[in-house]
Structure 1
Amino acid sequence: MQLNDLWSALRAPEVSFSVLLTLRICVACLVLHALAAIPLARLGMAKNVYLRRVVNFVITLPLVFPPMAMGFLLLMLFGRNGWGGMALQQVFGMSLVFSQGGIILAAWLAGLPLVIKPVQTALTNPDLLRLEQAARVCGASPISCFFLVTLPLIRHGLGAGLLLGITRAMGEVGISLMLGGNIAGRTNTLSLEVFNAVSTGEFQRAALLCSMLAIISLLLYLGIEWCQKRSF
């Protein structure tokens, strides 16, 4: 592919839209994963064995359950006749099905297990537990201990988890296909656009999109590797 052809392919409306949508989804998932990671990780480490098992099962479900089946269940839950869909419509006047909100939900759920597990590993580090206990003995409040001790020491584990979550969110297809519908100019992400290009026999465009995904994945991998080499 020559440079002019490459530029023309990148400027195609379906490609530019899918790239921008994927970036928005990754940013949204980064924020949502960052907000949910530590609370859910803590719940998954609860002393109550039943609560711990339920939380860990729900968190791990998107990782072990077939994506298309997961998407179908979410479609039934948030569809027009699902109780989740009816509640959203009545309270907020919105619908997640076949919308960008549904795509964000699908990407967030898909990446959630990969975010939580590294955070749980960091939170159970014996050195971290000793430093937290020392801070509490010295009079630090739980909030001060969290922001001054826990969060700084697990930042690399949290960073690795967030980057893993982004990689999974960026590559999500199955759940997004069921919940978002793969609507051109509305819910077609970069990964779905690869599927669309192959389906229509546009292998050159599919190769271009795969190259873009490969470059982004390499950068994310380097970031994950950097985080994993650090303490905690």
Structure 2
Amino acid sequence: MNSGFFSPTLIFSIRLTAVSCGTALLLFLALGLPAALWFSRSRSLCARAAAFFITLPLVFPPIALGYMLLLLLGRGGPLGSAEHYLGLRLVFSQGAVILSAFVAGLPLFVRPAQAAFQEPGIIKLEEASRVLGCGPVKTFFLVTMPLARRSIFSGLLLAVARASGEVGITMMLGGNIAGRTNTLSLEIFNCVSRGDFDEATSLCLLLASVSMAIYFVLDRLQKES
């Protein structure tokens, strides 16, 4: 392997990718689970609109979605001006990288979790739990979550895998700044751009090994279910 693999720039990109994926995973659980449960139980217009926007990264080009987020969060955007007054800056920061990873992976977590929550068997057992006197929160953690755990875990793996390979949104929102917002996937792009193909190949092999590990875990979960 090329000794350049251990350069500070590459070590930074690997560390930033790990941090962004780990933070995105926590956000998937904190925000994605309630959203999936809401979509599975509500047919309101608000729920459908929220589901549409969450699913958008699956059907809309990432580079175009990143541009839309840049317009929204940039200095001239409606949310960017509020950040200016609060003394905050999201665009071209590591926060933007984390946001990009979260946005890209969220639909791959929400959709499987929503499908699991809509299973007729789970809904019937939830109703039985409520009849027996359990509240909605207790029912969710003692009945719904254990029954849907495989789908939730599979969705988490897919979402984190997607987050780790995100390029388009991250490039537009984070800027691909060396030593600041260059993730592992963006560093592969940078290596190819400057003609360092050995280094790009090494990084691709690293990502491929992670992808294979995720595939084997997903395959095992599918066989168990």
Matched, 1:165 2:159: yes
Question: Where has structure 1 moved over 4 Å in runs of 4 or more?
Answer: none
Matched, 1:11 2:6: yes
Quote the residue 2:94 is aligned against: 100
Instruction: Give CA deviations for 1:29-57 in whole Å, capped at 9, x if unaligned.
Output: 11001111221112323433422321221
Question: For structure 1, which segment, 181-190 or 11-20, has the greater mean C-alpha deviation from structure 2 after superposition?
Answer: 11-20
Matched, 1:218 2:212: yes
TM-score (norm 2): 0.95
The 1:130–1:215 alpha-carbon spacing in structure 2 relative to 1, beyond 3 Å, is: same
Instruction: Give CA deviations for 1:107-157 in whole Å, capped at 9, x if unaligned.
Output: 100111100111011101121111111111111111111111111111111
Cα distance in 1 for partners of 2:120, 2:223 equals: 18
Cα distance in 2 for partners of 1:230, 1:131 equals: 21
Quote the residue 1:30 is aligned against: 25
1:229 shift after superposition: 3.5
TM-score (norm 1): 0.92
Secondary structure class of the residue paired with 1:114: helix
Quick one: which of 181, 188, 192 aligns to 2:182?
188
Q: Structure 2: state its 5+ residue gaps.
A: none
Quick one: which of 43, 47, 56 aligns to 1:61?
56
Quote the residue 1:178 is aligned against: 172
1:12 shift after superposition: 1.0
Secondary structure class of the residue paired with 1:185: coil
Query: How many equivalent residue pairs?
Result: 225
1:17 shift after superposition: 0.8
Cα distance in 1 for partners of 2:61, 2:203 equals: 25
Q: Structure 1: state its 5+ residue gaps.
A: 1-5
